[in-house]
Amino acid sequence: MRDTYAAERVHGFGTTIFSEITTLAIQHGAINLGQGFPDFAGPEWVKQAAADAIAADLNQYAPGIGLPRLRNAIAVHWARNGWREIDPDREVTITSGATEALFGALMALVNPGDEVICFEPFYDAYVPDITMAGGVPRFVRLYPPVGGGVADARAASWRFDHDELAAAFTQRTRAIIVNTPHNPTGKVFTRAELEYIARLCQEHDVVAITDEVYDQMVYDDVEHVLLATLPDMWKRTLTINSSGKTFSLTGWKIGYAIGAPHLTWALRQAHQWITFATATPLQAALAVGLETAPERGYYAELRADYRERRNLLTQVLGDAGLPTLPVEGSYFIMADISNTGFASDAEFCLWLTREIGVAAIPPSSFYADHTDLPLLARFCFAKRLETLQAASERLKRLGDASRVLGC
Ligand code: PMP
Ligand code: GLN
């Protein structure tokens, strides 16, 4: 008998930081501002539509590529926003969350030995996905804004070095992953940045996989721009999204990918052997969600509620002595922990969860290269105002506790 039957490809994966911190939060009764999920209910009318779909016996396999009604609703959503007229039969695929769409996209578009560029910090699934496809990740740093609190929020945005990005493109580059709005930084890539990325993709004949799961969560005057809508990018961009964030139903795991027929064809080749199809009644319910959300004013309300939560958590963290970086989009805030005296973000987050009773995620988990890491902690504000207030009460002990620790 071998020591393990596990294949080599999974040996280095470890446990995702989200499971680790959530388990610890439950053990210690901590308020979980770590893993990104809402602690409030998704919209009643979408949940009712799911119950209705089950009662109406929409309970057998959906077509592998997704329910026609949901694919149509996505096409209407794109057209209504003025992004593009898309063909729901040839350009939209429904997947089990954005997670499956990302994995399928990399399996479908990357050959062994191909390089895939992603910005660091990165959403943690990208690297295992790239390596499972036999690809090689190449990282380009996003640098935090210096100074913070600058009047012009865009001047205080995370940014990449244009030369570093250009240098990451080689003859072996096959794809780039662009996550905007970005987890964990809260950055929304500007049109100019996306135009620069587009130019490099065109020069090097590279495909772009965009992860836009937080596209409805952008604040103030920030504009979310789709890379796929830039000139000449439609034919080389696969756009991934997920209803989990938009409708606060992360457990439903209904995602989707939109792309020109040749990209969609490739994705579907992989998708049919990964999950084949995803939950039928939930797809039907999300079709209802997308169809009626605009007339209900749902997106504007969602954004306003998130803005209020973001502002409250910014204030709570600031009052606790943790200055925050600006958040343009997503439902995450990065707080500066360099004054707490902890040597690493992991030590700080474990301590905060166990001793203070508030869970946060150490962003070092989202870096491959640990040199010169900023000392930050990621907090999720997809929480009821009462939850954030309760966290505020606990965080008041932060100052006293760090004095006791001699930090
Ligand atoms: N991409 C990003 C940037 C995310 O934060 C998440 C978090 N859930 C996902 C993808 C995965 O989405 P889903 O839950 O729909 O699989
Ligand atoms: N996307 C969520 C986050 O960033 C977590 C999703 C997961 O646990 N896989 O916190």
Asked whether 157 lines ligand 1 (CB < 6 A), one says no
- Predicted local distance difference test score (pLDDT) of residue 3: 74
Q: Which residues contact 94 (CB under 8 A, 6 or more apart)?
A: 62, 65, 66, 67, 70, 71, 254, 255, 256, 277, 278, 283
Q: Which residue lies with its CA nearest to atom 9 of ligand 2?
A: 18
Strand 207-211 versus strand 237-242 pairing type: parallel
Asked whether 250 lines ligand 1 (CB < 6 A), one says yes
Distance 18 CA to ligand 2 centre (A): 6
- Predicted local distance difference test score (pLDDT) of residue 146: 74
Task: Please tell me the CATH code under which domain 9-42+299-401 is placed.
Answer: 3.90.1150.10
Residue 210's DSSP bridge partners are: 178, 239
Structure tokens at 258: 């939109």
Q: Which residues contact 266 (CB under 8 A, 6 or more apart)?
A: 108, 109
In whole angstroms, what is the distance from residue 407 CA to residue 401 CA? Answer: 9
Atom in ligand 1 nearest the alpha carbon of residue 250 = 14
Residue ranges of the domains in the chain? Answer: 9-42+299-401, 44-296
CB-count burial class (<10 Å; 0-12, 13-18, 19+) for 305: middle
Atom in ligand 1 nearest the alpha carbon of residue 100 = 16
Q: Which CATH architecture has domain 44-296?
A: 3-Layer(aba) Sandwich (3.40)
pLDDT tens-digit map of 175-192: 999 999 999 999 999 999
Distance 340 CA to ligand 1 centre (A): 30
Could you write out the DSSP letters of every residue in 297-347? THHHHHHHHHHHHHHHHHHHHHHTT--B----BSSEEEEE-TTS--SSHHH
Distance 143 CA to ligand 2 centre (A): 22
- Predicted local distance difference test score (pLDDT) of residue 4: 80
In whole angstroms, what is the distance from residue 185 CA to residue 107 CA? Answer: 27
Place of tokens 């390089």: 115
Ligand 2 — pocket residues by CB below 6 A?
Answer: 16, 18, 35-36, 183
Distance 197 CA to ligand 1 centre (A): 22
pLDDT tens-digit map of 39-92: 999 999 999 999 999 999 999 999 999 999 999 999 999 999 999 999 999 999
- Which residue from 290, 382, 295 is spatially nearest to 49, judged by alpha carbons? 290
CB-count burial class (<10 Å; 0-12, 13-18, 19+) for 7: exposed
pLDDT tens-digit map of 115-130: 999 999 999 999 999 9
Mark 330-346 as b/e (b = at least 16 C-beta within 10 Å).
Answer: bbbbbbbbeebebeebb
Q: Which residue lies with its CA nearest to atom 5 of ligand 1?
A: 183
List, for the chain, all residue ranges whose pLDDT scores fall below the cut of 70. 1, 147-155, 400-407
Q: Which residue lies with its CA nearest to atom 1 of ligand 2?
A: 36
Q: What count of residues does the chain have?
A: 407
Atom in ligand 2 nearest the alpha carbon of residue 99 = 9
Cα–Cα distances in Å, from 308 out to 11, 233, 359? Answer: 42, 35, 21
Distance 271 CA to ligand 1 centre (A): 17
- Predicted local distance difference test score (pLDDT) of residue 151: 44
- Predicted local distance difference test score (pLDDT) of residue 405: 55
